Protein backbone atom coordinates (compact mmCIF):
# COMPACT_ATOMS: atom_id res chain seq x y z
CA UNK A 1 0.00 0.00 0.00
CA UNK A 2 1.36 3.41 -0.99
CA UNK A 3 1.42 5.78 1.99
CA UNK A 4 2.47 9.20 0.86
CA UNK A 5 2.47 12.19 3.10
CA UNK A 6 -0.19 14.70 2.19
CA UNK A 7 0.63 18.32 2.85
CA UNK A 8 -2.32 20.66 3.26
CA UNK A 9 -1.70 24.22 2.19
CA UNK A 10 -4.08 27.09 2.57
CA UNK A 11 -5.50 28.02 -0.83
CA UNK A 12 -5.74 31.69 -0.01
CA UNK A 13 -6.55 33.67 3.05
CA UNK A 14 -10.31 34.18 3.50
CA UNK A 15 -9.70 37.95 3.73
CA UNK A 16 -7.78 38.01 0.43
CA UNK A 17 -9.01 41.02 -1.56
CA UNK A 18 -7.62 39.56 -4.79
CA UNK A 19 -10.03 36.65 -4.47
CA UNK A 20 -13.02 38.98 -4.43
CA UNK A 21 -11.62 41.02 -7.31
CA UNK A 22 -11.03 37.95 -9.48
CA UNK A 23 -14.32 36.19 -8.84
CA UNK A 24 -16.86 38.90 -8.06
CA UNK A 25 -18.03 39.67 -11.62
CA UNK A 26 -18.49 36.03 -12.75
CA UNK A 27 -20.31 35.15 -9.52
CA UNK A 28 -22.54 38.21 -9.86
CA UNK A 29 -23.42 37.38 -13.49
CA UNK A 30 -24.31 33.82 -12.51
CA UNK A 31 -26.37 35.00 -9.53
CA UNK A 32 -28.18 37.56 -11.72
CA UNK A 33 -28.97 34.89 -14.30
CA UNK A 34 -30.54 32.79 -11.53
CA UNK A 35 -32.43 35.46 -9.59
CA UNK A 36 -33.19 38.08 -12.27
CA UNK A 37 -32.96 40.84 -9.64
CA UNK A 38 -29.89 42.87 -8.77
CA UNK A 39 -30.60 42.96 -5.05
CA UNK A 40 -30.98 39.19 -4.76
CA UNK A 41 -27.89 38.63 -6.92
CA UNK A 42 -25.85 40.95 -4.71
CA UNK A 43 -27.11 39.13 -1.62
CA UNK A 44 -26.12 35.77 -3.07
CA UNK A 45 -22.62 36.94 -3.94
CA UNK A 46 -22.20 38.49 -0.51
CA UNK A 47 -23.40 35.28 1.15
CA UNK A 48 -20.97 33.27 -1.00
CA UNK A 49 -18.03 35.41 0.13
CA UNK A 50 -19.25 35.17 3.71
CA UNK A 51 -19.21 31.37 3.39
CA UNK A 52 -15.69 31.63 1.99
CA UNK A 53 -14.63 33.75 4.97
CA UNK A 54 -16.05 31.23 7.43
CA UNK A 55 -15.34 27.93 5.67
CA UNK A 56 -12.75 28.67 2.98
CA UNK A 57 -9.95 27.29 5.10
CA UNK A 58 -11.39 23.81 4.52
CA UNK A 59 -10.63 23.90 0.79
CA UNK A 60 -7.52 21.83 0.13
CA UNK A 61 -7.03 22.15 -3.63
CA UNK A 62 -6.49 25.63 -5.10
CA UNK A 63 -7.62 24.46 -8.55
CA UNK A 64 -11.13 23.89 -7.19
CA UNK A 65 -11.63 27.37 -5.76
CA UNK A 66 -13.77 28.65 -8.65
CA UNK A 67 -15.92 25.52 -8.59
CA UNK A 68 -16.29 25.81 -4.81
CA UNK A 69 -17.46 29.42 -5.09
CA UNK A 70 -19.99 28.68 -7.86
CA UNK A 71 -21.27 25.58 -6.04
CA UNK A 72 -21.68 27.57 -2.84
CA UNK A 73 -23.54 30.34 -4.66
CA UNK A 74 -25.84 27.83 -6.34
CA UNK A 75 -26.58 26.09 -3.03
CA UNK A 76 -27.32 29.44 -1.40
CA UNK A 77 -29.69 30.20 -4.27
CA UNK A 78 -31.51 26.89 -3.79
CA UNK A 79 -31.77 27.50 -0.04
CA UNK A 80 -33.20 30.97 -0.69
CA UNK A 81 -35.74 29.52 -3.14
CA UNK A 82 -36.82 26.95 -0.55
CA UNK A 83 -37.26 29.76 2.01
CA UNK A 84 -39.30 31.79 -0.51
CA UNK A 85 -41.56 28.81 -1.20
CA UNK A 86 -42.10 28.17 2.50
CA UNK A 87 -42.55 31.82 3.45
CA UNK A 88 -43.79 33.77 0.41
CA UNK A 89 -43.62 37.57 0.60
CA UNK A 90 -46.61 39.70 -0.24
CA UNK A 91 -46.18 43.28 -1.42
CA UNK A 92 -48.26 45.67 0.64
CA UNK A 93 -47.80 48.85 -1.34
CA UNK A 94 -48.62 49.69 -4.92
CA UNK A 95 -45.83 51.24 -6.95
CA UNK A 96 -46.44 54.46 -8.85
CA UNK A 97 -46.61 54.05 -12.61
CA UNK A 98 -43.72 56.16 -13.78
CA UNK A 99 -42.23 56.21 -17.24
CA UNK A 100 -38.93 54.40 -17.45
CA UNK A 101 -35.92 56.35 -18.70
CA UNK A 102 -33.64 54.36 -21.00
CA UNK A 103 -29.94 55.22 -20.88
CA UNK A 104 -27.58 54.72 -23.80
CA UNK A 105 -26.06 51.75 -21.98
CA UNK A 106 -29.51 50.15 -21.69
CA UNK A 107 -30.15 50.55 -25.39
CA UNK A 108 -26.75 49.00 -26.23
CA UNK A 109 -27.50 45.97 -24.06
CA UNK A 110 -31.02 45.48 -25.46
CA UNK A 111 -30.21 42.38 -27.53
CA UNK A 112 -28.39 40.81 -24.61
CA UNK A 113 -31.32 41.64 -22.37
CA UNK A 114 -33.73 39.89 -24.76
CA UNK A 115 -31.66 36.71 -24.53
CA UNK A 116 -31.23 37.02 -20.75
CA UNK A 117 -34.96 37.60 -20.40
CA UNK A 118 -35.67 34.47 -22.41
CA UNK A 119 -33.07 32.61 -20.34
CA UNK A 120 -34.85 33.67 -17.16
CA UNK A 121 -38.09 32.11 -18.43
CA UNK A 122 -36.50 28.72 -19.04
CA UNK A 123 -37.07 25.89 -16.63
CA UNK A 124 -34.60 26.18 -13.76
CA UNK A 125 -33.10 22.79 -14.54
CA UNK A 126 -31.91 24.18 -17.90
CA UNK A 127 -31.22 27.79 -16.87
CA UNK A 128 -28.33 27.11 -14.47
CA UNK A 129 -26.26 24.93 -16.84
CA UNK A 130 -26.77 27.37 -19.73
CA UNK A 131 -25.76 30.35 -17.58
CA UNK A 132 -22.67 28.58 -16.28
CA UNK A 133 -21.65 27.40 -19.75
CA UNK A 134 -22.28 30.53 -21.79
CA UNK A 135 -21.99 33.34 -19.27
CA UNK A 136 -19.23 31.94 -17.07
CA UNK A 137 -17.40 29.69 -19.57
CA UNK A 138 -17.27 26.71 -17.23
CA UNK A 139 -16.49 23.26 -18.61
CA UNK A 140 -18.96 20.37 -18.52
CA UNK A 141 -17.05 18.87 -15.60
CA UNK A 142 -17.01 22.14 -13.66
CA UNK A 143 -20.75 22.59 -14.23
CA UNK A 144 -21.34 19.00 -13.12
CA UNK A 145 -19.37 19.73 -9.94
CA UNK A 146 -21.28 22.97 -9.27
CA UNK A 147 -24.70 21.40 -9.82
CA UNK A 148 -23.70 18.02 -8.33
CA UNK A 149 -24.89 16.04 -11.36
CA UNK A 150 -23.13 13.79 -13.85
CA UNK A 151 -21.34 15.39 -16.86
CA UNK A 152 -23.71 13.50 -19.18
CA UNK A 153 -26.65 15.14 -17.42
CA UNK A 154 -25.02 18.53 -17.97
CA UNK A 155 -24.63 17.84 -21.70
CA UNK A 156 -28.24 16.68 -21.95
CA UNK A 157 -29.56 19.72 -20.06
CA UNK A 158 -27.46 22.07 -22.20
CA UNK A 159 -28.80 20.50 -25.38
CA UNK A 160 -32.43 20.57 -24.29
CA UNK A 161 -32.05 24.03 -22.75
CA UNK A 162 -30.53 25.43 -25.96
CA UNK A 163 -33.44 23.99 -27.94
CA UNK A 164 -36.01 25.51 -25.55
CA UNK A 165 -34.20 28.85 -25.70
CA UNK A 166 -34.01 28.71 -29.50
CA UNK A 167 -37.77 28.01 -29.77
CA UNK A 168 -38.59 30.75 -27.26
CA UNK A 169 -36.49 33.34 -29.11
CA UNK A 170 -37.94 32.28 -32.46
CA UNK A 171 -41.50 32.75 -31.13
CA UNK A 172 -40.54 36.11 -29.66
CA UNK A 173 -38.84 37.23 -32.88
CA UNK A 174 -41.81 36.08 -34.99
CA UNK A 175 -44.19 37.94 -32.66
CA UNK A 176 -42.18 41.15 -32.92
CA UNK A 177 -41.86 40.81 -36.68
CA UNK A 178 -45.66 40.48 -36.99
CA UNK A 179 -46.18 43.53 -34.74
CA UNK A 180 -43.93 45.64 -36.99
CA UNK A 181 -45.42 44.41 -40.27
CA UNK A 182 -48.11 46.65 -41.78
CA UNK A 183 -51.58 45.01 -41.60
CA UNK A 184 -51.87 44.64 -45.38
CA UNK A 185 -48.59 42.63 -45.51
CA UNK A 186 -49.36 40.21 -42.66
CA UNK A 187 -50.10 36.62 -43.66
CA UNK A 188 -53.80 35.96 -43.93
CA UNK A 189 -55.31 32.80 -42.52
CA UNK A 190 -57.84 31.17 -44.82
CA UNK A 191 -60.08 29.27 -42.39
Residue 78 and residue 114 share a domain: no
Assign residue 29 the CATH number of its domain. Answer: 1.10.1740.10
Question: Minimum mean pLDDT among 2-16, 19-33, 83-97, 168-182: which range?
Answer: 2-16
Q: Is residue 79 part of a domain?
A: yes
Q: Is residue 189 part of a domain?
A: no
Domain of residue 31 covers: 9-85
Instruction: Count structural domains, the chain.
Output: 2
Q: Is residue 96 part of a domain?
A: no
* 92 in Cβ contact with 138 (< 8 Å): no
Cα–Cα distance between 184 and 10 in angstroms, integer?
Answer: 70
Q: Is residue 100 part of a domain?
A: no
Q: Is residue 170 part of a domain?
A: yes
Taking CA atoms, 10 is separated from 5, 13, 62, 107, 150, in Å, by 16, 7, 8, 45, 28
Cα–Cα distance between 55 and 34 in angstroms, integer?
Answer: 23
Check whether 9 has a pLDDT greater than 50.
Answer: no
* 140 in Cβ contact with 154 (< 8 Å): yes
Q: Is residue 104 part of a domain?
A: no
Q: Is residue 152 part of a domain?
A: yes
Residue 71 and residue 14 share a domain: yes
In terms of pTM, does the model score above 0.85?
no
Q: Last residue of a domain, which of 35, 50, 85?
A: 85
pLDDT range class, residue 22, cuts 50, 70, 90: confident
Cα–Cα distance between 99 and 74 in angstroms, integer?
Answer: 35
Q: Last residue of a domain, which of 85, 102, 127?
A: 85
159 in helix, strand or coil? helix
pLDDT in tens, 92-139: 454 444 444 445 555 455 567 777 888 888 888 999 999 898 888 899
Taking CA atoms, 84 is separated from 35, 41, 60, 78, 187, in Å, by 12, 15, 33, 10, 45
Tell me which residue of 41, 54, 46 sits closest to 116, measured CA to CA.
Answer: 41
Check whether 26 has a pLDDT greater than 90.
Answer: yes
Residue 130 and residue 62 share a domain: no
Amino acid sequence: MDRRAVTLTRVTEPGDDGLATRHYAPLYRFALSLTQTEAEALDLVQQTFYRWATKGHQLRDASKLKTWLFTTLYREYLAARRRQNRFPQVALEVLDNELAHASAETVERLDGQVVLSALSRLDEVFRAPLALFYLENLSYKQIADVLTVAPGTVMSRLSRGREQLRRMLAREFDGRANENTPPNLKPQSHS
